[in-house]
Structure 1
């Protein structure tokens, strides 16, 4: 059987464009997301307790 010569470049071209677009995105570490989420959760619980809306 004959090998297809042009399929490798066509399939990788889309991936290269995708990763180039990803380089311009804002990079946030997972630890930062967890810490901010925990702080927001604690703040909501604190404000609920202060205002008398404790579950």
Structure 2
């Protein structure tokens, strides 16, 4: 293996470290079950409105 073959391993993972560090910011957190529940309610509402008109 030459010295130029495996270069960049640490450089390519540096972006991932920065991504996961940025995830811990003051962003709004929503539980995935809440998103699914809102989707089901919205879908049922559209179904009921489409059936009534």
Unaligned runs of 5+ in 2: 1-8
Unaligned runs of 5+ in 1: 1-6
The two structures, once aligned, show a CA RMSD in angstroms of 2.0
What TM-score does the superposition give when structure 2 sets the normalisation length? 0.59
What TM-score does the superposition give when structure 1 sets the normalisation length? 0.57
Largest Rg, 1 or 2? 1
Q: How many pairs are equivalent?
A: 44
**Higher relative contact order structure (alpha carbons within 8 Å, sequence separation ≥ 6):** 1
